[in-house]
Structure formats: C-alpha cells, structure tokens
Amino acid sequence: MAVKTIEWKNDRVVMLDQRLLPHKEIYRVCRDYQDVAEAIRSMVIRGAPAIGVAAAMGVALGALKAPVKTFDREFEKIIAVLGKTRPTAVNLFWALQRMRNVYSDHRSRGVENVQRALRDEAQKIYKEDIAANKQLGKFGASLLRNAKHIMTHCNAGALATAGYGTALGVIRALKESGQQFEVFVNETRPYLQGARLTAWELKKEKIPATLITDNMAGHLMQKGKVDAVVVGCDRVAANGDVANKIGTYTLAVLARRHGIPFYVAGPTSSIDVNCRSGDDIPIEQRDPKEVSHIFGKSVAPKGIHIFNPAFDVTAQELITAINTEKGVIHPPYQQNIRNHVSH
Ligand code: MRU
C-alpha cells in the first residue's frame, strides 16, 4: 500500500495525521520526542504496533538531541514521558523496553555509540513489524479459507502498524491468495476508526467492503451473513484474554451466540505474559467529548454524565484462535501461549 504510516526521515519522525483521514492526507513532522509523545497522545498515530514503533523512534530522536552532559538523566525522562502517553497497548512498553536494553548494552561505549544504536534499533523494530504482519497475515488467512463474509472492528490495518496490518493483514493475505470475499466494517464508535480508517484502507485496496454501524453486527449475524470475525489486539494476557477496541467483547459474545468463529490477529509484541488475565490490563479512559460530540458538534444534552473507555476485554473462552507471526494459537491458551512465546 502506497501510504506510509510512519517513517524516520533525515533524523525526524514523519507520520500521517490519522485524525484527518479519510478526507485529508497530511504528514506531521516530529522534531523531538515531545512531539512524538504528543502525536501518540492525541491520536495522530494510533493502533498498538504503530504506537510501539512511534515510541521507539521517539526515544531515538530524543537521544539524538540529548546533551552529552545530562544524557542519562535525559534518557530516563524520554522513556518516562513516552511511557505515559497511552496505557493499554503493551507494544508501547515492549518497544520502550527494547530501547532501554540497547541503551544498557551500548552506554559504556559513549553517547555517540548509544545514539547510533538506538536509531538502528528503532528502524529494526519498524522493519520487523512489517515482516511480522506479512507472516501473521498468511497464518490468519489459512483460518479463513471458506469465509465469504468477514467482519472486522476498529482499524488493525497498515495505519495501525508500520505497514500491512494485523487483522487487515490477514484480509490482505487472503486477497493475495485469490479468495473472493467481502468485509463488513464496523464504524467503531466513538472514534470511528472503522468508518474513517478501515473503510479508507479497504477502498484503496479495492477489497469489497460494506460499512455498518456497530449495532448492526448482531442483525447481520442472525441473518447468516457473517462467516468469521477477525480483529486486532492491544494486549493479550497470559491466559488468552484480549484487550482491543471498545465493542470487541460485544462482537465476540454475538459471534458465540451465532456459532461464528472469532479470530484475533497480532504480533507477539502484543502478548504480555506478565499480565495474568484481562483483569490486570489497564483500560484507557478518554475524553467524554468523543462520545458527546461528533466532529466537534454536540449530539448530547450539555452536562450529561459520560463514560468513555477506549478498550474492553474479551475473555479467552470466546476466542476461537489467536494468530501471530509465529503461527496459530488454539485453546487451551494459558499453556499454548507460554509455549508459543518461548519458541
Ligand atoms: O485507540 P486505537 O485506535 O489506538 O485502538 C486501536 C485498536 O484497538 C486496534 O484494534 C489494535 O490496536 C490493533 S492494531 C493492529
């Protein structure tokens, strides 16, 4: 796909401003790590793997600008600031940990050496993510061989990653295999990642897609119009519980009710074996205005109390399989996830 989500260019981080899609394709240039942190916080860039890649590039950028005299103090500050941007996607913390490991391994060889190593590591994380998505796409596609009607939620596409996508990576791989199918795209209230981003990506790729509002999913399933659901993930706990965009749990319950397989696709960087279950996953609460307003226009009475969790947790027993770049994980998840990540 021609669109670049994020790129390291001339010691700057350039990202497509996803807040403006699908109507405007404008790239933002981040000149220091604070710009990157603000871009993650304000959703210029979003989606678990893309947040991880952006954070890694943010660290590299910050390290490049850090004064030699106060380098170590500055490095800790950079990690802390980026670590406070968004709490749910574990890819953020995974990427920061990788950058911290590189810092520790190279620090004794001088600041210039660490700076170079951090920049290389950020590039490595970027490239690895694209490769992982292509690989997991193939594994996911093998699960959807007979599916003619596939539903997805939120945006787990090229825009949510360094490229190619996770759930949409599966859909891309399926298309590349020559299979004919159509995708139902849930609009994904309140932030509309489905309507604004997934619909845009699929249209660009000429993959047949139908946009629906979230509350139409059950109706379609009841009418026998959905053969499989595939979604991305922000964090997979050690027991297989999955945090993903708000509304994912509802879909999983509906899918179970109608005997429809429910698949989760994501790189191993989205698995958090230190998180015992979904109960331990922090759920981001976002601005009430995302619910009360649509494109800046109020749609609710002023002063109404609002609840706006950005993610929910789907219990492992509702998930048919989870696939990563290493293959497909089937239940029982506790044991199979442990084996999967250690190989
Ligand atoms: O709030 P967002 O847009 O960052 O949420 C994104 C999602 O929930 C995606 O489904 C998830 O990150 C997987 S992206 C490959």
User: Could you tell which of 193, 230, 248, 249 is best to mutate to test the pocket of ligand 1, judged by most ligand atoms within 8 Å of the CB?
Assistant: 193
Which among 17, 32, 35, 234 is annotated as catalytic?
Answer: 234
> Is there an atom of ligand 1 within 6 Å of 160 CB?
yes
In this predicted structure, what is the pLDDT of residue 343? 83
- Backbone angles phi and psi of 155, in degrees to 5: -125, 115
In this predicted structure, what is the pLDDT of residue 257? 98
Residue 244 Cα to ligand 1 midpoint, Å, equals 6
Residue 310 Cα to ligand 1 midpoint, Å, equals 9
pLDDT tens-digit readout, 146-169: 999 999 999 999 999 999 999 999
Confirm whether 287 is a catalytic residue. no
Q: Residue 193 CA: which ligand 1 atom is closest?
A: 3
pLDDT tens-digit readout, 104-152: 999 999 999 999 999 999 999 999 999 999 999 999 999 999 999 999 9
Could you tell me the pLDDT band of residue 2, with boundaries at 50, 70 and 90? low
- Backbone angles phi and psi of 237, in degrees to 5: -80, 165
User: Could you tell which of 244, 270, 287 is best to mutate to test the pocket of ligand 1, judged by most ligand atoms within 8 Å of the CB?
Assistant: 244
Residue 111 Cα to ligand 1 midpoint, Å, equals 35
> Is there an atom of ligand 1 within 6 Å of 157 CB?
no
pLDDT over 80 (residue 1): no
Could you tell me the pLDDT band of residue 66, with boundaries at 50, 70 and 90? very high
User: Could you tell which of 19, 197, 229, 233 is best to mutate to test the pocket of ligand 1, judged by most ligand atoms within 8 Å of the CB?
Assistant: 233
Chain length of the chain: 343
In this predicted structure, what is the pLDDT of residue 240? 98
pLDDT over 90 (residue 39): yes
> Is there an atom of ligand 1 within 6 Å of 45 CB?
no
In this predicted structure, what is the pLDDT of residue 336? 98
pLDDT tens-digit readout, 40-56: 999 999 999 999 999 99
In this predicted structure, what is the pLDDT of residue 295? 86
Distance CA 280, CA 97 (A): 19
Burial status of residue 339 (CB atoms within 10 A of its CB: 0-12, 13-18, 19 or more): exposed
Q: Where are the alpha helices (DSSP H) in the chain?
A: 33-41, 48-65, 71-83, 90-106, 111-143, 167-176, 193, 199-204, 217-222, 248-257, 289-292, 333-342
Please give the model's pTM, rounded to 2 decimal places.
0.97
Average pLDDT for the chain: 97
> Is there an atom of ligand 1 within 6 Å of 312 CB?
no
> Is there an atom of ligand 1 within 6 Å of 156 CB?
yes
- Residue with CA at minimum distance from ligand 1 atom 5: 47
Q: Residue 166 CA: which ligand 1 atom is closest?
A: 15
pLDDT tens-digit readout, 176-231: 999 999 999 999 999 999 999 999 999 999 999 999 999 999 999 999 999 999 99
> Is there an atom of ligand 1 within 6 Å of 197 CB?
no
First to last CA, the chain: 31
**Quick one: tokens of 182?**
């159509």
